[in-house]
Amino acid sequence: MHENRNVERRTVLKVAGATLATVGLGATATACGGGSGASGDGTVELRFSWWGADERAKRVNESIALFEKKFPKIKVKTDFQDYQSFWEKFQTQAAGGNPPDVFQNSLTFLRKYDKRGVVLDLKSQVDAGNLSLDNLRSGLDKLGEVDGKLVGVPVGSNVMSLVIDEKVFQAAGVTPKQGWTWDEYFDALQKIRDTQKVAGDTGYFGIMYLYDLYLRQNGKAFFTDDGLGFTEAELTEWWQDGYNRVKAGIVTDPKIVEQTKPKSALAAAHGASEFTWDNFTVRYATEGDSTYGLAPIPTTDGKQTGQWLGGLMLSASARTEHPEEAAQFIDFMVNDPEVGKVMGYDRGTLTSTPQFEAYQPTDAPNKAIAQYEEDVAAAGVLGEPTPHPAGADTVEAAFLRISGDMSQGKTKVSDAVKQFFSEAETALAG
């Protein structure tokens, strides 16, 4: 999963804006199912859709060729777009009762489309032996569950991480260590600013998933099963602190961050560290001129980071005419070792043990990603995924947009908090 985090998060905003206007799905849809039926010789056709770039398309198509060789009576018709176009098209298909048989998915959208009756509960297919979860790596076996149903199977994993410019950190005499605190992190940013004349961070306070980690460190979470898990006062403190650090020069000026896009402000040397999903970090080696590494997440108590494994998933349509074949396809894409060799870490670190062991990365960025996830797991800090209620995608978009306006001085912190809570409550009530 090599998408640019900033691009992906930014495009969510446009997709989410249309979400609330989407009509009710599930029982109200009357169109035909997702499958195309079986031909006279018993051949079944599945429709499979995903988002990504041309490189992912080539890898997926090569993997599908392996699947069709093993299952000659199942043909797979493919469709892919960029992130924004995918969700716009999927919403239209789902509203019309004709989503693809199998589709790429993420935690943000699981509950939303389960609530609307769009996704298939795959537990019966597991029981029937058409889909195996036995080989999923530790921390991933529950990722696709919603209210006791299995509505997604992870195909690529990632974890929130801290990417650092190693040359800048070394020159400043800063060495991140497992269990370091937020105070120590902010002291490091100040030291970097004072000695290297560059901001220490590119804008941590606008990342919803990082704020979730901070809340989890303090016994809370960004979302509960049906709402927000924090107060206006708590968000005010988080955003005010971030705004103050921008003004103090230890966090990159948000206007510079915007002007630098789509290139990362870290890679452009406008900051020395950046929080992002670990599998996005391959971009820095190609965009920047320094060396970049993955560092531990700062903590509140010196122990718990709040981290959890997320990642891309595969889901099946509740309207598919071929649930058995859809499950067999998902199983193959998740567990087959040869597919692991073909896909590599394009969608994140491989989630099943057979694929993880079959693919041995040779480049430094992907080696570092695999090692980081192993180190985080070994540290014993991984927890269960945070619940994502229906409307979480709209909430995330609002958090990014409103925090950006606040950090640029377009709105006061207090007004920004009130605006966010208003938009979030509307989205979560829908």
Tell me how far apart the alpha carbons of residues 111 and 119 are, in angstroms, rounded to a whole number. 9
Q: Are 330 and 131 in contact (CB under 8 A)?
A: yes
Which tokens is 321 given?
């005419």
Alpha helices in 71-165 (DSSP H): 83-95, 107-115, 123-127
- Position 38 scores a pLDDT of 60
Tell me how far apart the alpha carbons of residues 123 and 130 are, in angstroms, rounded to a whole number. 10
Beta bridge partners of 348: 346
Q: Which residues of the chain have pLDDT under 50?
A: 1-35
Q: Report the CATH fold assignment for 160-307+387-429.
A: D-Maltodextrin-Binding Protein; domain 2 (3.40.190)
Whose CA is closest to 385, among 235, 182, 222? 222
- Position 39 scores a pLDDT of 61
Residues in the chain: 430
Tell me how far apart the alpha carbons of residues 45 and 36 are, in angstroms, rounded to a whole number. 6
Q: Report the CATH fold assignment for 5-158+309-359.
A: D-Maltodextrin-Binding Protein; domain 2 (3.40.190)
- Position 223 scores a pLDDT of 96
- Position 40 scores a pLDDT of 67
Domains 5-158+309-359 and 160-307+387-429 share a fold: yes
Domain ranges of the chain: 5-158+309-359, 160-307+387-429
Residues 302-335 have pLDDT tens digits of: 999 999 999 899 999 999 999 999 999 999 999 9
- Position 408 scores a pLDDT of 92
Residues 287-306 have pLDDT tens digits of: 999 999 999 999 999 999 99
The pTM (predicted TM-score) of the whole model is: 0.84
